[in-house]
Structure 1
Amino acid sequence: MTRVSVELVPRSRSGLRAELETVAAHLPGVDTVNIPDLTRYSTRSWQGCALARPRYRAIPHLRSVDLNPREPLAMAESLDAAGIDEVLIVTGDAPADMSAKVYNVDAVTAIRRFQRELPHIRVYAGLDPYRQSFARERDYLERKLDAGAVGFFTQPFFDLRLMDAYADLIPEGAEMWWGATTVLTEATLNYWRARNHAVFPRTFAPTLEWNREFAEKTLEFARERGHHAYFMPVKADVREYLEGIV
């Protein structure tokens, strides 16, 4: 059965609670919330996910570079207390504050650690269609599955043809979350192209109409394959972006 998640940024606890209420009131198809771990905000991803429970299943993003290999997993008790049994592990970017402590821990190592220390937690890993060749990304996915991952959250796509090409590369049995996000300004479009090397079709337009239409197509794409979908409103109003679609 296809699940639908909305990715909400925990800029503040009051703001997150308000967005969760909007989702509950206007997006009845959403059954899951996933929350990134952004070090510039005081609310960590697992704390934000706790606010979404028990109404929603909740998936916190965890950065492998934040996991001190010599100390217990800092979020373990909080995950259990909130009834959170799924996480997404990504490597994580270097912090903007160079005084922040990070560790030489990659995603594969972190997945193995969760598999060893918290075997009841289902771990997803990331799929980035833009960072390297098809073959290298496929091999990277295999290593993550071998480490204990159950499936993948993709970076947001903007082209169904590219999604279809990657769908053929996914190892059999992996649980997939296909992502879409909002790009509503030329500045955001340039960011995705320059920072993430994202691929946009010629028909792309930074309008709410185009983004809504692609969100609908992404959900249909996931349902046709028995996969899941997640949506990142970023700075867009979550209701304007997704109402009537999910």
Structure 2
Amino acid sequence: MPEAPSTAPKRTRISIELVPRSLTHLRAELQTVAEHFGNVDTVNIPDLLRFKTRSWQACTHAAGHVQRAIPHIRAIDIDPRKPLPMADHLRQHGISEVLIVSGDPPEGMSSLVYNVTALDILRKFRRELPEIKLYAGLDPYRQSFAAERDYAEEKLEAGASGFFTQPFFDLRLMELYAELLPDAEIFWGVTTVMSERTLNYWQERNKAVLPRTFEPTLAWNRQLAADALRFSRERGQHIYYMPVTANLKEYLEGIV
């Protein structure tokens, strides 16, 4: 008689978002992750045009520190009429997962961008690199619940296997999105807000919603980090941490 399918929760992956300000800085942070956070198996690296190192190039330096590295790919940088420019690099270095984000236009339009959407580039990756696992972005603040759910479902149809969310600050909002996308593979995002400047950035630019209990302290941010990890583990989902201006070791030691 065949065994019944396992109902045990999937193993929760833990990722840390590392910004490639310089290769020296990146290597130092990777070393910190390897030495102090044995449960972290992944890093995800944004593609920021103000830095020299592109995300997929930075990911090659993660080998030997974590099991997997996920580069962010800016859709608007991709010429839809040409082959994917990072395809050979991804294959040569065994990078098997990428996160497709829409991308913000560069300041002063200092580099060329294209009139494409994240959906277009998800489909392009699916055609040209079918072996790559694709993630897409999920933003709980940019539009209504229903509109964001529908957009997420379009991304799944275009080839995404799951999502990296914008950072959440309230588990109640996370619960609502977990109900809207009950079968989706999700890396729930958590970041640090330790100053009025950072708070203003999230509230004014990203329209983030913070609970009334919020405090710009390390203790409050650590508690959120711990609560969000428990939330993810209970659902067999994943989490990524985006430490901003916080010391990585002080922020997450004893939590992950």
Q: Normalized against structure 2, the TM-score is what?
A: 0.94
Query: Which stretch shifts more, 84-93 or 63-72?
Result: 63-72
Q: What is residue 201 of structure 1 aligned with on the other side?
A: 211
Q: CA deviation at 1:140?
A: 0.1
C-alpha distance in 2 between matches for 1:223 and 1:177: 11
Q: What is residue 147 of structure 2 aligned with on the other side?
A: 136
Unaligned runs of 5+ in 1: none
Q: CA deviation at 1:54?
A: 4.4
Secondary structure of 2:222's match?
helix
Moved over 3 A (4+): none
The alignment status of 1:46 with 2:56, answered yes or no, reads yes
CA contact (8 A) 1:8 1:234 kept: no
The alignment status of 1:81 with 2:92, answered yes or no, reads yes
Secondary structure of 1:5's match?
strand
| Counterparts of residues 168-179 of structure 1 (less than 5 Å) | 168-170=179-181, 172=183, 174-179=184-189
* Equivalent position to 2:25, from 8, 11, 15: 15
The alignment status of 1:151 with 2:162, answered yes or no, reads yes
CA contact (8 A) 2:33 2:65 kept: no
The alignment status of 1:243 with 2:250, answered yes or no, reads no
Q: What is residue 55 of structure 1 aligned with on the other side?
A: 65
1:125-147 CA-partner distances (Å, limit 9, x unpaired): 00000000000001000100000
Q: What is residue 184 of structure 1 aligned with on the other side?
A: 194
The alignment status of 1:211 with 2:227, answered yes or no, reads no
Q: What is residue 223 of structure 1 aligned with on the other side?
A: 233
Amino acid at match of 2:228: T
C-alpha distance in 2 between matches for 1:43 and 1:214: 31
Q: CA deviation at 1:97?
A: 3.5
CA contact (8 A) 1:53 1:82 kept: no
C-alpha distance in 1 between matches for 2:61 and 2:52: 14
Unaligned runs of 5+ in 2: 1-10
Q: What is residue 28 of structure 1 aligned with on the other side?
A: 38
C-alpha distance in 2 between matches for 1:171 and 1:46: 30
C-alpha distance in 1 between matches for 2:19 and 2:110: 23
* Equivalent position to 1:66, from 54, 64, 77: 77
Amino acid at match of 1:94: P
1:29-87 CA-partner distances (Å, limit 9, x unpaired): 10000000000000000011110024320100000000011222111111111111000
Q: Normalized against structure 1, the TM-score is what?
A: 0.98
C-alpha distance in 2 between matches for 1:230 and 1:131: 20
Larger gyration radius, structure 1 or structure 2: 2
Q: What is residue 118 of structure 2 aligned with on the other side?
A: 107
1:137-165 CA-partner distances (Å, limit 9, x unpaired): 01000100000100000000000000001
Q: What is residue 116 of structure 1 aligned with on the other side?
A: 127
Q: CA deviation at 1:191?
A: 1.0
The alignment status of 1:2 with 2:12, answered yes or no, reads yes
